[in-house]
Structure 1
């Protein structure tokens, strides 16, 4: 199912807008839409993480946002913007992931771009999605970005998971951020979204995908490589596949399964190294 788009939310030149609309038309004809994975099919460990989120919820430009800050001195002109999966701020896993980014030295912001309506684990995605298209989710996201830039933050690294991967893609396409990463993204048009990215973006991007994902499958990943890899995307592109894991692996892992633990940590480390290398 495709998201509705709100081109006005991303002001660009007429040339870019015409190209954008043209590619959207082509998408309907030839692109494969990466399906969203049903909430119940996301991995949910039977034993909950005993750790407690250490950040706090604040309101930024009218948007509820989880903020996690490093314990040591950090660069106040740089930030990580974490875009969650469909479980949003109510999911401790998303908040703990933000805390990991803060522990790595970045002030980290997790906007509630789901507008207080995250889906429950057993929710019905088909009825939930129409109220969470780009027209609904883009405004709060851009509101937070605008506020962060007004605070003096000059470099924003966006990292998106599942549902959030679509929005990192948009921010990369529109050159809104400094660097982007995503893990097991969903709802993308492939290859059209990456054709557009290659045409108009100058933002480096990295993707972590899972061997057993039923959304962004290895075949879709290879199709993405066909557009972006081998120096075709000059700003910088990297994709890393993690075997033996499925959709959601970069957010949640069973502590008793070393394959899952290693994959989750590997995805974080890969994204962290990518972001650091492009923020310097």
Structure 2
């Protein structure tokens, strides 16, 4: 899995890396005609991903980790944007982001 390989590379240079499964073992599969993207999205909202990610961040902070970054692939791109806008993370990386528009990233507060 590409995501795990990238995580291993980041960990190999000394960072603490987590790869939580916010899709709960049910990634989008374009070959599954019974569950097209709009149906799949009904049970995989990025708002739930954002809430799940905040729990992971809280656990990291409980471990004493103070500088936290997040990478979002595809669906996760929107989750990472929301984390960055809410000051939950200090670094954000979007890779092939889906459902992310400039309006989501730009805020009226120039400090973010």
Same fold (TM over 0.5): yes
Residues 82-161 of structure 1: pairs in structure 2 closer than 5 A: 92-120=1-29, 122-123=31-32, 124-161=36-73
Equivalent residue number for residue 99 of structure 2: 187
What's the CA shift for 1:121?
5.2
Structure 2 residues without counterparts, runs of 5 or longer: none
SS at match of 1:108: coil
* Contact 1:158-1:181 at 8 Å conserved across structures: yes
Of structures 1 and 2, the one scoring higher in RCO (CA 8 A, sep 6+) is 1
Moved over 3 A (4+): none
Counterpart position of 1:15: none
* Residues 46-57 of structure 1 aligned to structure 2 (within 5 Å): none
- Residues 112, 140 of structure 1: 8 Å contact kept: no
**Which protein has the bigger strand share?**
1
TM-score (ref. length: structure 1): 0.36
How many residue pairs end up in the alignment?
Answer: 109
Return the alpha-carbon distance in structure 2 between the equivalents of residues 171 and 135 of structure 1. 11
**Equivalent residue, structure 2, for 1:86:** none
1:67-86 to 2 correspondences below 5 Å: none
1:200/1:116 CA distance change after superposition, 3 Å: farther
C-alpha distance in structure 1 between counterparts of 2:106 and 2:48, whole Å:
25
TM-score of the pair, normalised by structure 2: 0.83
How far apart in 2 are the matches of 1:185 and 1:125?
A: 15
